[in-house]
Amino acid sequence: MLKQPAELGRATRISTDVVHAGEKRPFPHHALTLPIFQTATYTFENTADLREFMEGRMWGLVEGRAEYGRYGNPTVFAVEVRIAELAAGQAAVLMSSGMAAVTSTLLSLLYAGDHLVITDDSYRRTRQFCLTFLKRWGIETTMVPAGDLERLEAAIQPNTKVIVSESPTNPYLRVLDMEQLVEIAKRHKVKTLIDSTFATPINQRPLEYGVDLVVDSATKYLGGHNDLLAGVVVGSESLMAMIRQNQWVLGAVCDPHTAYLIQRGLKTLALRVRQQNQSALKLAEFLEDHDRVSRVWYPGLRSHPDHDVASRQMRGYGGVVSFELDGDLDATSRFIDAVRLPLIASSLGGVETLIEQPALMSYFELSTEERLEVGIKDNLVRLSVGIESTEDLMADLRQALQVG
């Protein structure tokens, strides 16, 4: 069963915060909803007004205004304030995609000659950025197996600046013990960055454990409707100020309309994630009991290697379930083709249930052997549970498991 929220008070508050946190009412013209300030730049009354702004400007958006769209937008800013509060951070910076948040953050933290440690079961493009792009600029990466904190600590060098990990990871939903991670990082004076996309602030708040930076692909649960691309990084005022100033240069800003859609999605985040937590757990239990399924990866199951850590540090186990079918690549494809309700698509976290065979989606260009090297089996299926009826989803999976 899902464990009870550690503090009911906090859980109730987050349901309120998703709807109201950071609001500065009344909005112009007493609009109920956050206005979309669809503007590329901002005007000044006269030169004195301009001079006053320039003299006072520190972080782009001063007293509700910026000089130019890349330096700030009131709609974007309002959403950043809300996400920061939800994640228990001092500030947040919205970006044009989750990858923009990852890359802009790492580019802000690292200099030539630095080193970083990354866990292996993490988003493929994040790994690619560290292992190929950062390497070109003289930044070395050591990859360690997710879940092995001893290897992780042993990988830390005198020039290590940051430990990068996801929790839960993709696609095996490995959960990192954040208390231990932070203890190790503090001892070595290394910063920590957690990609918390799979959990959202509803299920875990890494900053409360002392993690320095949290990245979230807002494309997934925060937006929640499979209709936008965005990312966000949350942390201390000083780190966010640095990342924001670099965003002015790197340019991966979030546009105001997308920001509005994120804010609209956030209002139902607590409801959606709670439903997805419950539904995913039931489906994971169903799959684990089924003859044609050889293995289920879901942290809410006792059989998952990180069940205990997850139960301690998460308020729900999330909406993604990965499982291995009893069969080869083609048999697995036949199962996927027999499923009617879940749509075949990459991505996760939206209201629609999505299904994919990672071997043929994110890892298509690799051979079976190369895929095995990175831990992706041909018979692996990743299910991102949406908000449809659990019974309908279960019935559909049951009929599809009879095929092939």
Ligand X SMILES: *Cc1c(COP(=O)(O)O)cnc(C)c1O
Q: Which is nearer to ligand X, 192 or 197 (CB)?
A: 197
Q: Quick one: tokens of 287?
A: 């799959």
Pick the closer one to ligand X by CB: 254 or 339: 254
Instruction: By CB under 6 A, tell whether 104 contacts ligand X.
Output: no
How far apart CA 158 and CA 156 sit, in angstroms, is 7
What is the closest distance, in whole angstroms, from the C-beta atom of residue 118 to ligand X in the complex?
12
299 lies in the binding site for ligand X (CB under 6 A): no
Active site residue 209: no
Q: Is 231 in the site for ligand X (CB under 6 A)?
A: yes
Q: How far apart are CA 389 and CA 387, in angstroms?
A: 7
C-beta of residue 342 within 8 angstroms of C-beta of residue 32: no
Near ligand X by CB under 6 A: residue from 85, 121, 153, 195: 195
Annotation marks residue 187 as catalytic: no
Q: Does 386 bind ligand X (CB under 6 A)?
A: no
DSSP per-residue letters across 220-245:
TTTT-SS----EEEEE-HHHHHHHHH
- Residue selected from 74, 89, 98, 316 as contacting ligand X according to rule CB under 6 A: 98
Among 37, 71, 77, 123, binds ligand X (CB under 6 A): 123
Residues in region 151-170 near ligand X by CB under 6 A: 166, 170
Strand 160-166 relative to strand 191-195: parallel, antiparallel, unpaired? parallel
Query: CA-to-CA distance for 273 and 317, rounded, in angstroms?
Result: 10
Per CB under 6 A, does 197 bind ligand X? yes
CA distances from residue 372 to 331, 332, 359, 367, 369 in whole angstroms, order as listed: 18, 16, 10, 9, 5
- Annotated catalytic residue within 114, 195, 216, 378: 195
Can you tell me which of 99, 110, 164, 211 binds ligand X, judged by CB under 6 A? 99
Burial of 289 (0-12, 13-18, 19+ CB in 10 A): exposed
Residue of the chain from 229, 241, 343, 366 that contacts ligand X (CB under 6 A): 229
Active site residues: 70, 123, 195, 220
Residues at the site binding ligand X, with contacts judged by CB under 6 A: 97-99, 123, 166, 170, 195, 197, 217, 219-220, 229, 231
